[in-house]
Each structure stands twice: as C-alpha cells, then as structure tokens.
C-alpha cells in the first residue's frame, strides 16, 4: 500500500498571513491523521514564510503517524532535525529564496556531502530520503551514500501528464525499477493531484509514499479536509 503524507506548508502560509494562530497548525495535523493521512510533512524554509522552526517541537509532540521534515541540510536545518528527531528527513537541494522545490540532487557530484549528512541522521535513528530527479544514475547514487529512500520529483511528470501520460511517466518507471533492483525505498512528490495520482501509483512499481501539499490543500477549499483526504486515499487504494 502507498501511504499518503499531507504537506501542511500552505496551511501555515494562511496562518502567517494574519500573524495569529488561525488555522491552528497542530489541530490541522491531528485532524489530517484522523481523516486518513498516514503521515504529516513539513518543509521549513530559511525565511520561515510558512512552517516556522518553532512549529516543529509542537508538531513532533502530536503527530502519531510518520512525521517527515523536508529541507536543505544547512547547519540550522540539521541542528533542528537532530534535536527533534522526526521519523523521516527528506533532503532537498533548495536555494535560499526558492519558491518551491523544482529539482533533485545530483547524488553523484554531491556524494561526499550527502554521505556525511545521511550518516549523521541515521545515527540519530532518522530515516533518510533524498529528493532526486527520476534518473537511474541518481537512484544508484542515493543508494551509494547510504540513504534509506529516494523521493522522485514529479513536477515533470505532472506537466506532461495530460499530453502523453505514458511518455510522462516513462522515466519514473525506469528509475523505480532501478530503485527496486538496488534495494532503496521509493517516495514521490510535487504536483501530484486527483487527476494524475492513480495513474502514477499504478505505473511506478514499489511506490511506498507520496507527499502532497499544494493540490490537496487547494482541493480542501472546495471539498473540505476530510472528504479531500479520503478522495486522495481512494486514488492510492
């Protein structure tokens, strides 16, 4: 079964717009779990425009499923993750001012750095996932540095899905086969939605987890959180 992890960054963005505590991030995380989410994902950025570093201990206290923290493994990020010990840390090569994550690691040219970071996190009992573009060589590189999982960047798939679904998912299928061959778990995320999620899940062998935020939160404005999470879960069942 493929697990659904709900990224609640956009909920925090709405909260921050008024400088108050509405919506309450902790309550939203708890509700998402009660509605069927099997994980909660957050991606604190250097400018804290949505998730704040101060949110992390409160969320860690209440999340009872998988707590996944994404981000660029800067000194500040590593200090926070090692202190609060989420179940999973997803390493993303974001530039400081990035609007969103739009590319993965070159796990070959960054091998020494990623190996060091991965070892530190695993020594603390944290599962490590490395965000990569769907290329077999980057999957092999992630395995070589010791990562537990890779997370495929699926923005390229989503952009091409309505033009030619089979061609759009082709690279992801090949990269997934390599992941299964070398023995590394597969996560995926970015622009997955109600239109393309089932096709992606049924095409990519061994998909363990998807992390979805922007589309799911947008759909929840129309359908409500409970209905929306169950609709996404149905696409994965």
Q: Which residues are known catalytic residues?
A: 43, 70, 190
Angle at 180 between CA 174 and CA 184, to 5 degrees: 115
Q: Where are the alpha helices (DSSP H) in the chain?
A: 9-18, 25-34, 55-62, 75-84, 111-123, 136-144, 155-160, 165-182, 197-203, 214-223, 225-236
> Of 127, 123, 153, 128, nearest to 138 (Cα)?
153
Which residues have CB under 8 Å from 123's CB, separation 6+?
none
Which residues have CB under 8 Å from 12's CB, separation 6+?
25, 42, 50, 51, 52, 55
DSSP 211: E
């Amino acid at each position: 079964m493929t697990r659904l992890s709900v990224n609640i960054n956009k909920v925090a963005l709405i909260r921050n717009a008024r400088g108050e505590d509405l919506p309450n991030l902790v309550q939203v995380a708890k509700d998402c779990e009660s509605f069927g989410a099997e994980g909660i994902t957050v991606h604190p950025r250097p400018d804290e425009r949505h998730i704040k570093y101060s949110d992390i201990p409160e969320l860690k206290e209440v999340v009872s499923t998988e707590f996944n923290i994404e981000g660029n493994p800067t000194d500040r990020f590593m200090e926070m993750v090692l202190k609060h010990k989420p179940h999973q840390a997803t390493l993303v090569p974001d530039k400081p001012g990035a609007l969103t994550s739009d590319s993965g690691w070159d796990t070959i040219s960054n091998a020494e750095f990623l190996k060091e970071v991965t070892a530190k996190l695993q020594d603390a009992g944290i599962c490590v996932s490395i965000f990569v573009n769907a290329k077999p060589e980057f999957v092999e590189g992630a395995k070589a540095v010791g990562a537990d999982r890779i997370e495929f960047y699926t923005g390229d798939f989503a952009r091409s899905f309505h033009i030619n679904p089979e061609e759009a998912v082709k690279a992801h299928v090949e990269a997934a086969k390599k992941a299964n061959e070398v023995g590394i778990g597969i996560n995926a995320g970015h622009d997955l939605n109600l239109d393309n999620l089932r096709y992606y899940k049924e095409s990519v062998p061994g998909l363990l987890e998807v992390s979805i935020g922007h589309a799911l939160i947008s759909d929840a404005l129309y359908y409500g959180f409970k209905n929306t999470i169950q609709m996404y879960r149905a696409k994965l069942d």
